[in-house]
Amino acid sequence: EAQACFEQATKLDPNHADSHYNLGLCHQANGDDAAAKEAYETALKQEQGHRFAGNNLANRHMGRLQLDQAKAQLDSVIEQHPDHPPTRRNRAQVLLLQGDFGRGWSDFSFRFHTDTRQQYSADTLWRGEPIHDKHLLVHFEQGLGDTIMFSRFLPQLKKRCGKLTFSCQKPLASILKKSFPQLEIVTEAEAPDSFDFHLPLLNLGERLSLNSESQFHSEPYLNPDKRAVLPENGQPKVGLVWAGNPNHKSDGSRSIPWEQFKTIVKIQGVDFFNLQVGPRALDCGDELIPLQNRIADFSDTAAIINELDLVITVDTAVAHLAGALGKPTWILIAALPDWRWMMDRSDTPWYSTAKLYRASTETGWSATLAEVKNQLPRQLGLS
């Protein structure tokens, strides 16, 4: 019904850009990609740099892994609307995927004007001024994986300020306290009310001028604060995670249904452990060695990972945890991945022991899982 209305609107006033844009949204929602593209392009002809039509066309290019075209489209919008938050945030994703970190971090700051929560007042935001005698509160802002990934930079930051307090998610507090004894680590509920400046954790990219891959490299920096004892059958031990947070906006492309994922466990001579948590942990039935009752927080998961020979996981917090522990980790990532994994590579500067296996826009996960199954015996010394 909406589509019929907008089609009528474009006939009544062919030069009204917003009508063409809204018609494009209807086509997109109805699954007609070609018609949506045509409507967005028409909107851009009627209004150069139409921010919404341009942004949606860029998203379309990104979905096809056409990053140069996406960036050109976003540049055109930003030329007309330099402070349009969704467009700047989208360009950040493109720039960071392409390894252009200097410009990418700058655009990335626009996330607070879209859907990332701003926890503290902009009045006390640290913008890079000298703070050698000041108290700086650094606080998590996004997922558990982001916190693990960027926590490596906290000791470096501590050298710049008089006092540093880091507020993290409760499930990470124990292992971060063990791993960074020189830092004051608190949970969100324990965060101080009094401080001189605050900084969202992922702003460290810009504040520390982390503009080259060599600055990301790190020795393993997390340490388990307990030991785990696993069943010992004299066989290699592999931990598996096939699904991420079901509430994540990209869960549909990040998680893999167990019925498809389980192809990799059809290998003799390997003990496969279930590292999956949450409702999907039961998807595997009794096909894996269960651990659910032994995992209360990330300290438990870290202790278990420390006893494994390999972790195979989709892009979720366990991938970061295993990488930060220095454990051999195979990460299965979507065809259009999150920015940190960049493009067209099987390694990552973030974790030296990690290997990336990418889904395909044509075949989805099938070829990727077949490759993992193929490589696994060699990795474990079984062939």
What is the dihedral angle through the alpha carbons of 347, 351, 352, 357, rounded to the nearest 10 degrees? -30
- Which tokens in the block code for residue 79? 């030329």
Instruction: Determine the pLDDT at residue 118.
Output: 75
Q: Give burial (CB, 10 Å; 0-12/13-18/19+) of 343.
A: middle
Cα 175 to Cα 179: distance, rounded to the nearest angstrom: 6
Instruction: Determine the pLDDT at residue 32.
Output: 95
Cα 270 to Cα 310: distance, rounded to the nearest angstrom: 11
Cα 108 to Cα 210: distance, rounded to the nearest angstrom: 13
How many Cα neighbours within 13 Å face the side chain of 327?
A: 28
Instruction: Determine the pLDDT at residue 115.
Output: 75
Cα 197 to Cα 120: distance, rounded to the nearest angstrom: 10
Each residue's pLDDT expressed in tens, for the chain with a length of 383 residues: 999 999 999 999 999 999 999 999 999 999 999 999 999 999 999 999 999 999 999 999 999 999 999 999 999 999 999 999 999 999 999 999 999 999 999 999 999 888 777 788 889 999 999 999 999 999 999 899 999 999 999 999 999 999 999 999 999 999 999 999 999 999 999 999 999 999 999 999 999 999 999 999 989 999 998 999 999 989 999 999 999 877 777 777 889 999 999 999 999 999 999 999 988 999 999 999 999 789 988 999 999 999 999 999 999 999 999 999 999 999 999 999 999 999 999 999 999 999 999 999 888 999 999 999 999 999 999 97
Instruction: Determine the pLDDT at residue 305.
Output: 97
- Which tokens in the block code for residue 52? 């919404």
Instruction: Determine the pLDDT at residue 12.
Output: 97
Cα 358 to Cα 356: distance, rounded to the nearest angstrom: 6
Instruction: Determine the pLDDT at residue 324.
Output: 98
Instruction: Determine the pLDDT at residue 253.
Output: 81
